[in-house]
Structure 1
Amino acid sequence: MQELLSAVETAASESKISKSAAGHLRSWLTEDRYAAYRDEVAKHIRDQQWQKLDDVFWTIIPFGTGGRRGRMYPIGSNAINDRTIGESAQGLANYVVDYAKRQGRSDQLSCAIAYDTRHQSRHFTELCAGIMVAAGFKVYLLDDYRATPQLSFAVRHKNCDCGIMVTASHNPPSDNAVKVYWSSGAQVLPPHDKAIIEQVMSCQEIKAVPFAEALADGRVEVVTEEIDNAFLEAAAAQAFAGPRDAKILYSPLHGVGAAAVMPLLERDGFHSVEVYGPHEERSGDFPNVPGHVSNPENKAVFDKPIEYAQSKELDLILATDPDCDRLGVAAPKTTDATGQWGTFDGNQIGSLLADYVLSKREAAGTLSADHYVVKTLVTSELIRRIAEDYGVRCVGDLLVGFKYIAEVIDREGPDQFVFGTEESHGYLVGQYARDKDGAVACMLMSELAAELKAQGKTLHERLADLHRKHGYHKEALINLVMEGSEGMAAMQRLMKAFRETPPKSLAGIAVKQIRDYGSQTKLDVASGEKSELAGPHGDLIILDLDEEGNYVAARPSGTEPKIKLYVFTRVSPADSQDLDAAGQTIVKRLEGIESDMRAFAKENS
């Protein structure tokens, strides 16, 4: 042991590993709670795998906007493995048990668990189930690959105290994660999130009952069929009447989506729906998508499906991410399906769906000034303008994360909730879940496409109508990747620079104001005066340009080692009647902003 510890100290002194990695390695070598991993850690040290050791030990993998997510590796405090997943489940169990006691409860607690197609998802599911059972929980298990919104629904349907979804969403095949849910069916919110994190970080002992034993004696109950049927009923109830003549190609991107999407579309009257064969296999390797990354935000995943759809003269392509909580869309640009096709970004899909749902509710006479739509601060303001045009409220001052949309639904009242959306391709209607749902979004988009087809129009033409009415809106996302221990320091330096020495202009437009949701202050750049900023508290900065509707939001990702820059541009309705000219203006502006922001980041990180 002394030889191993000395080797770690020497490696740190020679800068082969960071000081923080050395500290965590000492813990994993000497503390009893890590005894099961000691031999593997020792082997890595003897083999002098210092770069790998630094990668997996330099920090403790955090809880972000969606739980604990990262690369899988058998050892390491900064990796997804039995220890970090076990800590997550044990910390959740410990907190919920303590919370229930403080509430004076004596009934049995329960937890719903589901998993997707990723590597080790089933293994981590059994581990989590055994831990929850050992803590006294009844576990309701969706015992097959199922969608994240079905887990959210299951928590509510079975009146559970919490839920666990084993998935890394749209991350690369190397990753996995757990998403943690509260009794509302939403991912955990303050104050529960911080309290759970404290339990996770202080976890000493992980107690687990063997999964097979718990399944045999009924402490784990399989509810897959029950939840499938109930979820289908609840989601189908969100449908609107109208045409159903649309030929649809659906891609689950090697994930779980077909089990939710296909029955729902069939139930809603869409009988000409085909699963795209090359993406049908349920595989954690995501073999047939570009770069093996199953993200519907990536336009490239549509290239091959579009070729197929053109050859078959189809009307619409839908794609959901591996855990089926996000939707991507492609459609012909004209009524000629053999011609040019185009994809839509998350803000455009959200705008189309918001307008569709609101128009249907208005026609049915079920809208009032008390009704509302919800979006986050980094989601297009076109959503707000559409909502206000229909005379309903838009609650939009939210941090990133669908859990904040879920919080608004319960705070403002689910009966008045109409539609929720975030820019990262997440959408929800109804009261049946408290997380984004790719399946119901597929259904609504299919309805809209069929309705427009009956009118001789396309989805792209409908979006153009919205731009002419409300102004041409275009958004872009810039990812500044900063991996490793040095990356974290660079992210902190850059966020500090945005706060203290922001750029004076972007794309030739002056930076007028800095909104800092961390300090909850507004800075007038010209005068240097600060004032109070209303809204949520979080690590988000918005740079408002001196032209209405143009701004940039910056935030560190809650799940990946990068800073996300959300760029928002707009041209007024008067200048949007010629969409080609407006588009050229916007493209030039977006290019200028990206160039200036990357230069600023390079200088200040």
Structure 2
Amino acid sequence: MTDSAESTADPKRIQDALASVDQACEQKLLTAGAVTNIKSWLTEDRYSDYRESVLRHIDEKKWQKLDDVFWTIIPFGTGGRRGRMYEIGSNAINDRTIGESAQGLADYVVRFHGGKKSLSCAIAYDTRHQSRHFTELCAEVMVAAGIKVYLLDDYRATPQLSFAVRYLGCDCGIMVTASHNPPSDNAVKVYWSSGAQVLPPHDKAIIDGVMSCQEIKRGNFKQALADGMIEVVTDKIDAAFLDAASACAFEGPRDVKILYSPLHGVGEAAVVPLLQRDGFNDITVYEPHRERSGDFPNVPGHVSNPENPEVFTKPIEQARAEGFDVVLATDPDCDRLGVAAPLTTDSSGQWETFTGNQIAALLADYVLRKTPESKKNKNSFVVKTLVTTELVRRIADSYSVRCVGDLLVGYKYIAEAMDREGPDDFLYGCEESHGYLVGSYVRDKDGAVACMLMSELAADLKANNQSMHDYLGELFKKFGYHRENLVNVVMEGSEGMASMQALMKAFREKPPTSLGGVKVAQVRDYGNQTATTLGDAGESKPLEGPVGNLIIMDLEQDGNYVAVRPSGTEPKVKFYVFTRLDPAESQDLKAANVKLGDRIAAIEEDVRAFAKLATA
């Protein structure tokens, strides 16, 4: 921020700047949205601390940068408010947008609880640039609103924040992280008293407060620490979290050699103690990824995403050379898990990674197989999202366990289903983007407990002289070969937003009649709550399920469909491609894999062509 003298800019300079902004708009150097937001930051008192910086950018004619950071107001997505960091801008992560987020949450919590005397908020942060700074800012806002802060004052995992909210009985929580995004990004994830990220009606009310925020009221961090309004609880939460997560372990062998990568994030502090508590003694942290750094220096493209097979390339080299049985990796805030394992029981041979859907299926079968029959009943259930493989549902059916799977994207919906259906009967939750959970100690995905379960499975298979890939192959033979793929179409900036809207409109109003040479039989529109059959006898009927900006095109062949939705956290449209063969066609795994690989490639080609035409 600038000081008060700098904040009071010369009125003529401001008028000249406003004229320059109008001229830049006429020259198509700025979009209309950017013009509106820049003028607000130049003229409204609530943005006075940033006025000098905005003026400097205008003086230097940094129109592209100004358009990038002002063309819209950064929204709340599936996981909170996330984006690129920059010192100014309504579409950037900075002190103003983070402060607004914290203020909107604080105001709503105070208003929601009326006269409640004691309010509290748990706050944690990861290794990203400015995470500690934004943490102090959020804590100061909470304290100023009379809300006590319980602080995890070291790099800690997102599931530990969810746990802290529940364990300490907090009214809300804030996690400062941008998960697996590039180093340029940061964010806040906002949690409610349940330990889950905020859901309706709280999310809309908080967003309304954020958008209308005039003044960001801040206390003094050091004084609040001294007064006890900020209490450091790192050690207390570490111990309690370890106890709760380790209680979810299953009995079995523990003889397995594990190579673990925290991908420059917080995971080591959660994963290694949990594995050790569960009886695993042969754990090595992959040294090149061990440094806790927001630059993510030693991963491809500096993006620490365990969904990306390339992050495993170097760790696999070490694993093959030194006889490891499995490679595990968690993202920077340790709520997602990626896995690689040898194709056979020979660790010196070829290795491959697993997709998020494959891990979901492997862990589903493991958890349900190991869960004692005494804990299974007619109410027992697993949970998944609409864009997570149906193989999980088929596995659950084989164990006579319910699968709650009619959910929008976002682990908060899995958390909501846990509480709605009954946490005592919850066995397992998963989503295709590498998020997994057992137990009811948190209401978010947990990379640490997923590492524990996957290590147990690896040891169990090793004791039976079976590879993890062979185990997956058995599931395919039994339930049919399932193969999925995620296609991302990036659409950045103001033009990208318009393209995303045009594309979703095209899918709703005139969807493709075939994809990959297979006819589209039905279109499920979760935004308009309709299911429409295609063809001469096409008809539309009401669609039961959640309401959200998601479209699913069901192909004529059972188990083959394509889901499309705009990302809630990144400027892209996501296409989820699902293909399947029946068990009779799946006994030759190599042939089945080739057949579905060709089908996916053809579908992807058609999807990209449709997207290009729709947004031209």
TM-score, with length taken from structure 1: 0.99
Match of 1:493 in 2: 502
Distance 2:426 2:198 in 1: 20
The structure 2 residue matched to 1:474, chosen from 483, 506, 510, is: 483
Pair 1:147 & 2:160 matched: no
In the TM superposition, what are the counterparts of 1:281-430 in structure 2 within 5 Å?
A: 281-362=291-372, 364-430=373-439
- State the Cα distance separating 1:6 from its structure 2 match: 0.2
Distance 1:313 1:338 in 2: 7
The structure 2 residue matched to 1:565, chosen from 572, 575, 582, is: 575
- State the Cα distance separating 1:343 from its structure 2 match: 0.3
Distance 2:181 2:33 in 1: 26
Match of 1:257 in 2: 267
Alignment deviations for residues 202-238 of structure 1 (CA, whole Å, 9 cap, x no partner): 0000000021111111100000000000000000000
- State the Cα distance separating 1:503 from its structure 2 match: 0.6
Distance 1:333 1:580 in 2: 13
Pair 1:511 & 2:524 matched: no
Alignment deviations for residues 139-197 of structure 1 (CA, whole Å, 9 cap, x no partner): 00000000000000000000000000000000000000000000000000001001100
Match for 1:278: what amino acid? Answer: P
Match for 1:518: what amino acid? Answer: G
Match of 1:33 in 2: 46
Match of 2:136 in 1: 126
The structure 1 residue matched to 2:235, chosen from 222, 225, 229, is: 225
Match of 2:4 in 1: none
Distance 2:416 2:176 in 1: 22
Match of 1:92 in 2: 105
Q: What SS does structure 2 have at the residue aligned with 1:565? A: strand
Distance 2:122 2:236 in 1: 13
The structure 1 residue matched to 2:94, chosen from 81, 86, 107, is: 81
- State the Cα distance separating 1:529 from its structure 2 match: 1.1
Distance 2:43 2:135 in 1: 28
Match for 1:28: what amino acid? Answer: W
Distance 2:587 2:486 in 1: 26
Q: What SS does structure 1 have at the residue aligned with 2:110? A: helix
Deviates more, 1:44-53 or 1:353-362: 353-362
Match for 1:357: what amino acid? Answer: V
Alignment deviations for residues 68-125 of structure 1 (CA, whole Å, 9 cap, x no partner): 0000000000000000000000000001111001xxx422100000000000000000
In the TM superposition, what are the counterparts of 1:64-213 in structure 2 within 5 Å?
A: 64-101=77-114, 105-213=115-223
Match of 1:528 in 2: 538
Match for 1:584: what amino acid? Answer: V
- State the Cα distance separating 1:365 from its structure 2 match: 3.4
Match of 2:9 in 1: none
The structure 2 residue matched to 1:596, chosen from 598, 606, 614, is: 606
Runs of 5+ consecutive residues of structure 2 not aligned to the other structure = 1-13
Match of 1:214 in 2: 224
Match for 1:546: what amino acid? Answer: E
Match for 1:473: what amino acid? Answer: H
- State the Cα distance separating 1:370 from its structure 2 match: 1.1
Match of 1:462 in 2: 471
Match for 1:6: what amino acid? Answer: A
Match for 1:160: what amino acid? Answer: C
Match of 1:11 in 2: 24
Q: What SS does structure 2 have at the residue aligned with 1:117? A: coil
Distance 1:188 1:458 in 2: 40
Give the number of equivalent residue pairs.
Answer: 601
Alignment deviations for residues 321-350 of structure 1 (CA, whole Å, 9 cap, x no partner): 000000000001101100000100100001
Distance 1:556 1:136 in 2: 37
The structure 2 residue matched to 1:21, chosen from 18, 34, 39, is: 34
Deviates more, 1:228-237 or 1:209-218: 209-218
Match for 2:313: what amino acid? Answer: D
Distance 1:518 1:106 in 2: 38
Alignment deviations for residues 233-254 of structure 1 (CA, whole Å, 9 cap, x no partner): 0000000000000000000000
Q: What SS does structure 1 have at the residue aligned with 2:178? A: coil
Match of 1:62 in 2: 75
Distance 1:40 1:106 in 2: 40
TM-score, with length taken from structure 2: 0.97
Q: What SS does structure 1 have at the residue aligned with 2:338? A: strand
Distance 1:369 1:252 in 2: 38
Match of 2:442 in 1: 433
Match for 1:77: what amino acid? Answer: S
Distance 2:377 2:358 in 1: 25
In the TM superposition, what are the counterparts of 1:234-253 in structure 2 within 5 Å?
A: 234-253=244-263
- State the Cα distance separating 1:369 from its structure 2 match: 2.0
Runs of 5+ consecutive residues of structure 1 not aligned to the other structure = none
Q: Once superposed, what is the RMSD of the aligned Cα atoms?
A: 0.6
Alignment deviations for residues 486-539 of structure 1 (CA, whole Å, 9 cap, x no partner): 000000000000001111101110000000000000111112311000000000
Match for 2:106: what amino acid? Answer: A
Distance 1:107 1:131 in 2: 17
Match of 2:559 in 1: 549
- State the Cα distance separating 1:368 from its structure 2 match: 1.6
Match for 1:80: what amino acid? Answer: I
Distance 2:33 2:157 in 1: 37
Alignment deviations for residues 259-302 of structure 1 (CA, whole Å, 9 cap, x no partner): 00000000000000000000000000000000000000000000
Alignment deviations for residues 358-410 of structure 1 (CA, whole Å, 9 cap, x no partner): 00114x53212210000000000000000000001000000000000000010
Q: What SS does structure 1 have at the residue aligned with 2:375? A: coil
Distance 1:125 1:532 in 2: 45
- What's the % identity of the aligned pairs? 70
Distance 1:173 1:360 in 2: 39
Distance 2:390 2:84 in 1: 34
Distance 2:538 2:92 in 1: 43
Match for 1:295: what amino acid? Answer: N
Distance 2:233 2:554 in 1: 49
